[in-house]
Amino acid sequence: MKRILLLAGDFSEDYETMVPFQALQAMGYGVDAVCPDKKAGDTIKTAIHDFLGDQTYTEKPGHLFALNKSFDDIVLGDYDGLFITGGRAPEYLRLNAKILDIAHYFMDKNLPVAAICHGIQILTAANCVRGRSLTAYPAVKPEVENAGGTFVDLEADQAHVDGNLVTSPAWPGDTAIIREFAKLLG
CATH number of the domain residue 51 falls in: 3.40.50.880
CA dihedral 22, 124, 60, 25 (to 10 degrees): 0
49 annotated active-site:
no
Task: Choose the catalytic residue: 63, 104, 118, 160.
Answer: 118
Please count the other Cβ atoms lying within 10 Å of the Cβ belonging to residue 30: 16
Domain that holds residue 136: 3-185
What is the distance between the alpha carbons of residues 135 and 159, in angstroms, rounded to a whole number?
8
Q: Give residue 182's pLDDT band: very low, low, confident or very high (50, 70, 90).
A: very high
The per-residue pLDDT for 50 is 85
- DSSP helix/strand/coil, 23: helix
142 CB contacts (<8 Å, ≥6 apart)? none
**Total domains in the fold of the chain:** 1
- pLDDT grade, residue 53 (50/70/90)? confident
Give the length of the chain.
186
Express each pLDDT in 93-129 by its tens digit. 999 999 999 999 999 999 999 999 999 999 999 999 9
From its phi and psi, is residue 146 left (phi > 0), alpha (psi between -120 and 50) or beta?
A: alpha
Phi, psi of 124 (to 5 degrees): -70, -40
| High-pLDDT (> 90) share of the chain, % | 94
* Residue 170 CB contacts under 8 Å (≥ 6 apart), including other chains: 13, 16, 49, 51, 57, 86, 116, 117, 137, 156
